[in-house]
């Protein structure tokens, strides 16, 4: 499988150079279909290309074409656009069988058959359902291989959940505070691995480029990063499943997380400070991943996820609606109406109220 990745990487770099050269010299663009037609000619010059399944190779120029389309779309919208880049063998990490025509299948012995590769032993932990469409084989930075099969599922009628509604306020002190008073404690995944990662990166920086020791040190860094990602993903999966199983309507703030991460500085009590520590915390807490998991799990369970405008959810009183300004250090909401309540609990009650109002307007 490593040899397949190597051939696909070489094709990517060849076709990227071909497109780049054509535009620089003649101001013309080459379509992916023209490049697909060129693959048989390349196979005559390079026998290793013949050892890769034809449709897998055809997927390479299609991927490149999508990368260019995304680049031009971002340029048109005025966004930061990264030009498609040449791939190193460590950066080209997957190949695809785009059609279920017998090129991939699970054998009776529990192995997966991949055309031009043969039968490969796998941990078939969950049976893929529906009509299989594509198969992607992916290699991680730590050398692990995964098979991702996409399929079309049959139409399933899901009964609407009768569970109660809840508002959720996502935060940094507590991962989430629910409107019924329950909390989800925050787990500091990056901070747990920070010392080990810094030590491994320092050792990596000392190694000579291209050496065997550098490859080993690089694998250690990748293993620490992978462990952190796996812990974070397990945390969000466990808690999103718990919320979906308990509640039928889940109301959340539609946070502009990307905008938060773009801030250079933040102001706390009139003092301007660097936002970098906050950036690390926001990235580590994985709000976006949690929300995305809630959405698809809720759809399968017959629940609803309602996203509301976060404006004034912290300032407004959940009892009388009066706005009260607060600093980041103010953890208690105190209102002239007499209500004294935890700041985040107050916000989650406001989120619930606004979410139910939004549902009522839609109905």
Whether residue 56 is contained in a domain is answered as yes
The model's pLDDT over 277-314, given as tens digits with 9 standing for 90+, comes to 666 777 778 888 999 999 999 988 899 999 998 888 88
pLDDT of 227: 92
Both 141 and 250 in one domain: the answer is: no
pLDDT of 6: 94
* Domain end position, chosen among 130, 152, 174: 152
Whether residue 117 is contained in a domain is answered as yes
pLDDT score of 363 more than 60: no
Whether residue 195 is contained in a domain is answered as no
Both 108 and 175 in one domain: the answer is: no
Both 146 and 25 in one domain: the answer is: yes
* Domain end position, chosen among 152, 179, 200: 152
Both 334 and 298 in one domain: the answer is: yes
pLDDT of 244: 94
Whether residue 40 is contained in a domain is answered as yes
For residue 8, name the pLDDT band (cuts at 50, 70, 90).
very high
Percent of the chain with pLDDT over 70: 94
**Number of domains comprising the chain:** 2
pLDDT of 43: 92
Both 125 and 181 in one domain: the answer is: no
pLDDT score of 272 more than 60: no
Give the span between the Cα atoms of 253 and 355, in whole angstroms: 9
For residue 269, name the pLDDT band (cuts at 50, 70, 90).
very low
Lowest mean pLDDT among 244-248, 250-254, 291-295, 359-363: 359-363
pLDDT of 4: 93
* Domain end position, chosen among 108, 131, 152: 152
Both 172 and 126 in one domain: the answer is: no
Whether residue 227 is contained in a domain is answered as no
Both 95 and 129 in one domain: the answer is: yes
pLDDT of 249: 92
Whether residue 200 is contained in a domain is answered as no
Both 137 and 280 in one domain: the answer is: no
Q: Which residue has the higher pLDDT, 288 or 261?
A: 288
For residue 14, name the pLDDT band (cuts at 50, 70, 90).
very high
For residue 251, name the pLDDT band (cuts at 50, 70, 90).
very high
Percent of the chain with pLDDT over 90: 55
For residue 94, name the pLDDT band (cuts at 50, 70, 90).
very high
Both 132 and 179 in one domain: the answer is: no
Whether residue 229 is contained in a domain is answered as no
Both 111 and 179 in one domain: the answer is: no
pLDDT of 129: 81
The model's pLDDT over 147-162, given as tens digits with 9 standing for 90+, comes to 999 999 888 788 888 8
Task: Tell me the mean pLDDT in the region 127-156.
Answer: 89
Can you give the residue range of the structural domain that contains 322? 165-188+245-362
Whether residue 184 is contained in a domain is answered as yes
pLDDT of 273: 53
The model's pLDDT over 32-88, given as tens digits with 9 standing for 90+, comes to 999 999 999 999 998 899 999 999 999 999 999 999 999 999 999 888 888 999 998
Both 173 and 69 in one domain: the answer is: no
Both 170 and 277 in one domain: the answer is: yes
């Amino acid at each position: 499988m490593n040899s397949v990745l190597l051939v696909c990487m070489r094709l990517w770099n060849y076709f990227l150079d071909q497109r780049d050269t054509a535009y620089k010299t003649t101001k013309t663009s080459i379509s992916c279909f023209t490049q697909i037609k060129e693959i048989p000619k390349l196979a005559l010059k390079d026998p290793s290309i013949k050892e890769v399944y034809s449709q897998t190779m055809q997927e390479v120029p299609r991927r490149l074409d999508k990368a260019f389309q995304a680049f031009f779309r971002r340029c048109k919208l005025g966004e930061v656009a990264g030009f498609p880049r040449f791939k190193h063998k460590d950066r080209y990490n997957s190949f695809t069988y785009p059609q279920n025509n017998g090129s991939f299948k699970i054998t009776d012995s529990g192995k997966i058959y991949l055309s031009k590769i043969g039968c490969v032993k796998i941990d078939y932990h969950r049976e893929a359902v529906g009509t299989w469409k594509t198969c992607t084989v992916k290699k991680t930075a730590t050398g692990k291989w995964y098979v991702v099969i996409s399929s079309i599922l049959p139409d399933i009628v899901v009964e609407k959940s009768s569970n109660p509604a809840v508002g959720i306020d996502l935060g940094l002190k507590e991962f989430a505070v629910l409107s019924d008073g329950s909390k989800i404690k925050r787990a500091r995944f990056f901070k747990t691995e920070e010392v080990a990662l810094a030590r491994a990166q320092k050792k990596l920086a000392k190694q000579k480029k291209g050496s065997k020791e550098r490859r080993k040190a690089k694998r250690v860094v990748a293993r620490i990063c992978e462990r952190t990602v796996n812990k974070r993903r397990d945390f969000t999966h466990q808690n999103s499943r718990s919320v979906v199983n308990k509640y039928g309507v889940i109301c959340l703030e539609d946070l502009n997380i990307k905008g938060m991460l773009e801030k250079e500085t933040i102001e706390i009590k009139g003092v301007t400070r660097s936002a970098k520590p906050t950036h690390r915390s926001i990235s580590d807490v994985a709000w976006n991943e949690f929300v995305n998991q809630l959405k698809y799990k809720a759809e399968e369970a017959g629940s609803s996820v309602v996203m509301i405008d976060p404006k004034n959810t912290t300032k407004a009183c959940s009892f009388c609606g009066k706005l009260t300004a607060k600093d980041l250090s103010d953890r208690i909401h105190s209102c002239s109406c007499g209500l004294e309540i935890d700041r985040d609990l107050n916000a989650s009650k406001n989120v619930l109220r606004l979410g139910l109002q939004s549902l009522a307007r839609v109905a």
